Structure 1
Amino acid sequence: MRNIDITISDEILAACPHFHFSAILCNVKNSPHNEELWKEIDAFSADFRTKHKMEDIGKRKAIAATRQAYKNLGKDPSRYRPSAEALCRRIIKDINLYQIDTLVDLINLVSLKTGYSIGGFDADKTKGNLILGVGKADEKFEAIGRGLLNIEGLPVYRDEIGGIGTPTSDEERTKITAETTRLLMIINGYSGEEGLQEAADYSVELLEKFAGANEIKLCRS
């Protein structure tokens, strides 16, 4: 299995000095739907809805830190919401979550539970190593299901070809599909290192249980 090195740029560290990440690279078997996984998602959603109000979401530690990172980089987090925040808001509004496929649904569950915005990529579609930098004006980025996204001022992972992921959305070129057999999952801790190990452990547990993950490689910054 090809290793993928991930570097954090100086411009990210200057704006987000507490940033850390956990990355998981593994072999997987995707499926269109997993009923047992969705029972967990539905149970979590119902419980979350009874315990939280809309105004609570932005106060969750990981979400608040991601929003602050956007502000530090000059981006409006209420216009370009981090994905974890968008998912939580959807639950509070009692709008059904999209059912995509087992890998994406699983990543969404981790994001909901932890508040981390998580990048999920088909590792075989990435080219070379990754660097986390800041989006530039007019930089082309085809967001999954959203079309062209203005990523100027957003944190963005780039490979040798271009951008593949931001906390708001990932890119069409490297997205997870039914044919994905190698997954790269990056948990972004703009709130710091605390909680990342637990999130990674939970992710691995779900990946092994629902996607038959093996040859798992973990790295952290």
Structure 2
Amino acid sequence: MTTTPLAPPVAGTGTALLRRLREPAPPRPERCAFCGLDLPSEHRHLADTEERALVCACVACALLLQQPGAGAGRYRGVPRRYLSDPRHALADADWEALQIPVSLVFLLHNAVLDRWVALYPSPAGPAESELDPAAWQSVLDRTGLARMLEPDVEALLLRRTEDGTTSCHLVPIDACYELVGRMRRHWQGFDGGAEARAELDAFFERLAALATPLREGSDEL
């Protein structure tokens, strides 16, 4: 039987000791899921298409697993492009037909299942919505971004604002999960509360600076 050793005592006395006991432990660095190498805060992600999950990877492992024949095509690199469609328009009735209980949803196309999946933030993390094919197809048909999206690794991100407009962006899938995680940490009450909305506003401010818009009258950049 293996045993887990006790943690060593904290050195110091008096006020200094109490201060150190109260301070949270520094976060452990993320590691590459394949070789165990410590990763910087900004690192690559791969989509595991079999598990429908994201995994962290160092540059070497990410490049290796994306080579033809490596990993039997199971892993796909998450790109870093951000696009927007300023012409996208969605009426109140169209949004209500989607039956999303919050003002944010992201859609991705699962290549294995060969269908679209819709998810939205909740206190428990990303929640999946049952798609009504006709309602969602009407949304997808309104933007050229849906045709440009890469399955499994990119998402179509829709946000409905209080003035009745709906923004439409194409983003890396890991950005969506990062946003959901940030909102979950700050979620309060039924609709998320002020702190969660502030996280949402800050995210879309950064997104506006990163995104390249589609050209007017074209599905090209």
* TM-score between the two structures when normalised by the length of structure 2: 0.29
* TM-score between the two structures when normalised by the length of structure 1: 0.29
Q: More relative contact order in 1 or in 2 (CA 8 Å, sep 6+)?
A: 1
